[in-house]
Amino acid sequence: MTELDQRAPMSFTRRVNLWLSKFSSRATAKAYSDDLGLPHDDRDWEPSSPSRRGRTRGTFRKGVAFFPWCAARGLDPLSTVGLEQLQQWLHATSQAGLAKATRAHMLTAVREFYTAMQRQGIISVNPAALVDTNAAGVTGLDEDDQGLDLDVAQTRQLLTLARTSSAARRGAQYRDRDLAVLLVLAVTGARASEVTGLDLADYRRANPSSKATLRLHGKGGRMRTAELDAHVADDVDAWIRTRAAMLDRRVPAQPGQVSSERQPLFCTRTGARLSPGYLGDIMQRLARQEGSPLAGIADQLHPHALRAAFVTSALDAGVPIEEVAAAVGHTHIATTLRYDRRRKRRKTGAFRAVSGLVAEDHSDEAEEPGQSSSVAARLAAHDAEQLPGQTAVPVPGYDPVEPAGPVEGWPGAHFR
């Protein structure tokens, strides 16, 4: 029996697992489990991996995941947690140094958990729905947001590194797989979990010269279809052939047309599905190669950088934001805007436009020697019309007339 079961009703873990097992996307269930802090050994919907046996797992979200935080304080999430406790928990996540985005999706996981419990009639009020996200500091953008900006040129450099990387040490099969998986990330803007969750049956290509489609399983069980150009599909086909040879399996007659058995599209040499975190390892390993132009940012590379680059590049190309949001699986456009790295660019047309409204260029006006400039003359005329007491703009050669005295009813005349 876990510490969580000792401090909460016996049915608690069972209820949580029943809720998580209903998600069609295992990646979503896993993300919620991690954010909530449900122990791996208590996840009856997630098969244990032999490769993980005997290995120490890290602490969930720096020790402030919701369930462990409640357990450490003797709180029952279903009966003794209200708005005050949630505010204390959010403060603890901030004190732990978690990024704003991380804290935001942790709160989302808690809110979804309580929503599910409310629908089942276990609780009457969703305490997480009462949280003021602005006051809690989990909305908006961090002023010191250091999200990595990848432009189109850098994305191409990364893909070139994948295509030309030496296969002598790790084998050609890894090169084909790494190239295919990075291409899919770059041209679809998909989440890392969506790409690693792809099955062979999710890939469709009618013939070797046509485009291909990918069926992506997004959050909340929502599915969307991404289109791959023929040259991208060629590289995915090359990986599928390599995959078949590596696993000693027959290549389907038509790429993507396979049996109903779930087979991961991207896998290890043993056929195991890749983890989302491993995609970041691929990117960093490629960027660290000798002579790589991305060596300086290798440690910062992660799959979400390609997702942000997709959003930014699409918006730069003039694609309506509604279409971009649909392409990456965002329900709200506000979420898409968080991935738009254009907000960091200080070069905008706003400065130039406003400057043109408030300042005129008279550099072509000829001025005779001994006369005040046209700008100074206009300022002088403007100052002469000011109400007494207003501070005039000093203009060389112009001596404004001092008012005779305070003007009744105008307090500004008393403050020089």
Domain-wise residue ranges, the chain: 3-136, 152-344
Q: How far is CA 369 from the centre of its chain?
A: 61
DSSP three-state, residue 374: helix
Neighbours of 185 (CB within 10 A): 27
Q: Please give the CATH architecture assigned to the domain spanning 3-136.
A: Orthogonal Bundle (1.10)
DSSP three-state, residue 225: strand
**Tens of pLDDT, residue by residue, the chain (416 residues):** 445 544 444 478 889 999 998 887 777 888 899 999 998 888 887 765 554 444 445 678 888 999 999 999 999 999 999 999 999 999 999 999 888 888 988 999 999 999 999 998 899 999 999 998 888 887 754 444 445 778 889 999 999 999 988 654 567 788 999 999 999 999 999 999 899 999 999 999 999 889 999 999 887 678 999 999 999 999 999 999 999 998 876 555 444 444 445 789 999 988 889 988 899 999 999 999 888 999 999 998 999 899 988 998 898 888 999 999 999 988 888 778 777 766 555 445 565 567 666 665 544 544 455 444 554 555 455 555 554 444 444 434 434 444 444 434 333 333 23
Neighbours of 293 (CB within 10 A): 13
For domain 152-344, which CATH number applies: 3.30.70.20, 3.30.1540.10, 1.10.443.10, 1.20.59.10? Answer: 1.10.443.10
Q: List strands edge to edge, sheet with 203-205.
A: 203-205, 212-217, 223-228
* CA distances from residue 185 to 110, 209, 223, 331 in whole angstroms, order as listed: 28, 22, 16, 20
Nearest to 100 by CA among 164, 153, 143, 149: 143
The amino acid occupying position 330 is H
